[in-house]
Amino acid sequence: MPVSSLTRHPALLALLSQLLSLLLCWLLLLALARFLGWHLSLLGAACLQGALAALIGQRLGLSRWWLPINFGFVPGLVLLQDHALPPWLLLVGFMILLMLNWNAMTERVPLYLTGSAAEHRLAHRLAALPDGFSFIDLGSGLGGTLLRLARLYPSARFVGVETAPLTFVLCWLRCLFQRNCQVRFRSFWREPLAGYDVVYCFLSPAPMPALWQKARTEMSPNALLISNSFDVPGVEAQETLAIDDWRHSRLLIWRPGAVAQPDGYSASG
């Protein structure tokens, strides 16, 4: 699978981090034992592997919330090797993953989190807008980017929509006390886009054609549709902002409401 495809699947990057760290850890432990006579305990070796996995995952571009997962996965297996897990605990773990990634099954949109470099680029683009702009995040995830942007632009209005149950709850709690930020348990297909100056999304290739048609119909001529990484097939972006990360990501920007409709008129009528 090409690197560009891997970057769209954080779980695969996490798995790659674990495999690479296992190989590096084995080589390092072998060198320490042969040349220095050092021998680590099983738990010590697991912690070393976890540290390497977290470091490799960060270098591969995984979001920060993946770091403790990468670090604790193998040490956790070591600690639990002598303990039989009750079936209900496995069921709870599965339900948590399901509620975090509900949209991957219902709308083919996995949980993608905006990286720090992309967030900084987005914030810089928003600075060019007039004060008091309105912004919506279609699939606000855990709410980190939404909350930080709302704090950065207190005179603007920020809205996030999310349908994965646990993801929504976490996002709603994080944004609860931010006065210019609101999070709604709603599919972005049911959210009217007419009242927003900026529509931001980090989805997947699957919904982009339909989202483009919705945006053309509902958005005003000057409103911006900003997509992180995923383009609209057959529609060239009017602005492309490069992101300074190893993946060479980009923000793709259109003004869908200004695009002529089939009858020859713009979306504004």
What pLDDT, on the 0 to 100 scale, is given for residue 86? 62
Output DSSP code: residue 235: B
CA angle 55, 1, 27 (to 5 degrees): 40
- Same domain assignment for residues 141 and 236: yes
- Same domain assignment for residues 216 and 129: yes
Q: What whole-number distance in Å separates Cα of residue 132 and Cα of residue 141?
A: 24
pTM over 0.75? The answer is no
Q: What whole-number distance in Å separates Cα of residue 92 and Cα of residue 4?
A: 33
What pLDDT, on the 0 to 100 scale, is given for residue 211? 95
With residue 136 as reference, give the H or E element that holds it: strand 134-138
Query: How many beta carbons lie within 10 A of that of residue 108, not counting itself?
Result: 12
User: Two tokens at 202?
Assistant: 């980090």
10-residue mean pLDDT series, the chain (269 residues): 48 80 90 82 86 86 71 76 58 55 50 79 96 95 93 97 86 95 93 96 87 96 94 94 81 88 47
Q: Is 264 among the domain residues? A: no
- Same domain assignment for residues 120 and 78: no
Read off the CATH number of the domain in which 136 is found: 3.40.50.150
- Same domain assignment for residues 75 and 120: no
Domain count, the chain: 2
What pLDDT, on the 0 to 100 scale, is given for residue 82? 62
- Same domain assignment for residues 55 and 164: no
Report the half-sphere exposure of 240 (CA within 13 A, side-chain side): 11
- Same domain assignment for residues 126 and 185: yes
Q: Is 108 among the domain residues? A: no
Facing residues of 183 across strands? 160
- Same domain assignment for residues 252 and 121: yes
Facing residues of 255 across strands? none
Task: Report whether 57 contacts 66 (CB < 8 A).
Answer: yes
105 to 8, 55, 108, 206, 262: CA distances (angstroms): 16, 30, 5, 12, 33
The closest alpha carbon to 201, from 161, 147, 235, 233, belongs to 161
Q: Is 111 among the domain residues? A: no
What pLDDT, on the 0 to 100 scale, is given for residue 268? 43
